[in-house]
Structure 1
C-alpha cells in the first residue's frame, strides 16, 4: 500500500514541474509578399540579455522553403520597469455616537496610505543576423522584440530586399 502512494506522490511532484520544462523557443516566419511560411527555432536562453563580451555562437535556425539560414540573435538591452504612478489616499472620519451610559462620545479620525504599485516589465529589443551556406550565400537581418517569457515578434529583410514577419 505504501508503494502506490509513494508513486502517486512522485507523479504529482513531477507533474507540478512539467510547465517549467519547456523546449527552446520556436515560431514561424512569413514572407510578406508571397505568404510563404517557414520556421524559426532558437537555442534555449538565447533570447535573454547577453552579459559580458564573450564569443557568440550560432543560436538560431530559420527554414524558409529549401533555404536554411543559420545565425545569431542578440538581445541588446534589458527589460526595465516602466514608471509606476504613486498611489495614495487620505480619509477622514468623525462621529458623535451614544455610548452605553447615554452620553455622547465624539471622535475624529484621519488615515492615509501611500504605496508604489509593483513595477511593470516592458519588452526587450534585439537583432538577428543569419545566412545560408553555399557559393552565393543569402543573408537575413531582423529586429526583435522579446518579453521576459521569450515570446516575441520581429521584422526581417533578406539580401534581395524581401520582407518577412516573424512570431515566436
Structure 2
C-alpha cells in the first residue's frame, strides 16, 4: 500500500515542476502589407530585464520567408507596481433595543475597514534589432511590450520600410 502512495506522491512532485520545463518563447511575425507570416524564437530569459551592460549576445532568431534575421532584445525594467486604490469603509449604527425590564436602551456603533489590494504589475517595454547575414544585409527593428510571463507583442519595420506585427 505504501508503494503506490509513494509513486503517486513522486508523480505529483514531478508534475508540479512541469511549467518550469517549458521551452523558450516563440511567436509569429506578420507582414502588414501582404500578410506573409514568419516565426520568432527567443532564447530563454531574453525577455527579462537586464542589469548592467553584459549579456549582449544574439538572443532572437526571426524567419520570414527565405530571410533569417538574428539579433538581440533589450527589455527595460519599468514594471513597477501600479498603486492600487486604498479601500476604506466606515460604518455608523444607531438604534434602540428593549432590555429585560421593558425599557429601551439606545446603542451606538462605529466600525471601519481598511485594506490595500495586491498591486497589479504592468508590462515592460524594450526593443529588438536583428539583421540578415551577407553582403546585402537587411535590418529589422522592433518595439516590444512584454509581461512577466514573457508573453507580448510588438511592431517592427525593416530597412525597406515594410511594417510587421509581432506576437509571442
Structure 2 unaligned blocks of 5 or more? none
- Asked if 1:73 is matched to 2:69, the reply is no
Once residues 166 and 82 of structure 2 are traced to their aligned partners in structure 1, the CA distance between those partners, rounded to angstroms, is 25
Cα distance per residue 1:62-103 (max 9 Å; x no partner): 011111111000002331122322221211012211133433
Structure 1 unaligned blocks of 5 or more? none
- Asked if 1:92 is matched to 2:78, the reply is no
Residue 34 of structure 1 aligns to a residue in which SS? coil
How many matched pairs?
Answer: 168
Once residues 3 and 82 of structure 1 are traced to their aligned partners in structure 2, the CA distance between those partners, rounded to angstroms, is 49
Once residues 146 and 71 of structure 1 are traced to their aligned partners in structure 2, the CA distance between those partners, rounded to angstroms, is 17
Q: How far has the Cα of 1:55 moved from its partner?
A: 4.0
Give the structure-1-normalised TM-score. 0.93
Counterpart residue number, 1:121 = 121
Equivalences for residues 14-29 of structure 1 within 5 A: 14-29=14-29
RMSD across aligned positions (CA): 1.4
Residue 30 of structure 1 aligns to a residue in which SS? strand
Moved more, 42-51 or 107-116: 107-116
Once residues 143 and 107 of structure 2 are traced to their aligned partners in structure 1, the CA distance between those partners, rounded to angstroms, is 63
Cα distance per residue 1:32-70 (max 9 Å; x no partner): 111110000111111111111214111101011111111
Moved more, 79-88 or 45-54: 79-88
Runs of 4 or more above 6 Å deviation? none
- Asked if 1:39 is matched to 2:39, the reply is yes
Counterpart residue number, 2:9 = 9
Give the structure-2-normalised TM-score. 0.93
Once residues 7 and 117 of structure 1 are traced to their aligned partners in structure 2, the CA distance between those partners, rounded to angstroms, is 40
Q: How far has the Cα of 1:15 moved from its partner?
A: 1.4
